[in-house]
């Protein structure tokens, strides 16, 4: 039997796990998006379908009021550049 101390097991923080889940989800969605464009789907159609699907799920999960509040703040976040890829501005 070893007398060396057992190293502490570093458990990820809940926020880290959520970030990992969000990163995995984003990777899946991005891969599907790229595949759909390769198959010839118009990106405008993808945008509309993705937004509809996301908003429908948001409302189903959090309700109309909370979802409307989120969407109201979304414009400010877009204008602040939270969704802009570095180097790409319109």
Q: For residue 49, how many other CB atoms are within 10 A of its CB? A: 12
pTM: 0.67
DSSP state of 3: -
Q: What is the CA radius of gyration of the chain?
A: 20
Site of tokens 């458990």: 11
**Euclidean distance between the first and the last CA atom of the chain, given in angstroms as a whole number:** 65
Tell me the CA distances in angstroms from 71 to 19, 55, 57, one per residue in order: 21, 9, 13
**Residue range 54-68: mean pLDDT, rounded:** 95
Max avg pLDDT among 1-5, 41-45, 82-86: 41-45
Write the pLDDT tens digit of every residue in 19-51: 788 889 999 999 999 999 999 999 999 999 999
% pLDDT > 90, the chain: 62
């Amino acid at each position: 039997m070893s007398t060396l101390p057992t190293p502490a097991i570093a458990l990820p923080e809940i926020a880290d796990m959520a970030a990992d889940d969000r990163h995995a989800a984003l990777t899946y969605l991005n891969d599907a998006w790229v595949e759909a464009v390769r198959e010839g789907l118009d990106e405008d159609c993808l945008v509309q379908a993705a937004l509809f699907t996301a908003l429908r799920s948001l409302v189903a999960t959090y309700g109309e009021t909370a979802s409307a509040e989120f969407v109201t703040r979304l414009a400010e976040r877009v204008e602040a550049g939270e969704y802009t890829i570095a180097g790409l501005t319109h």
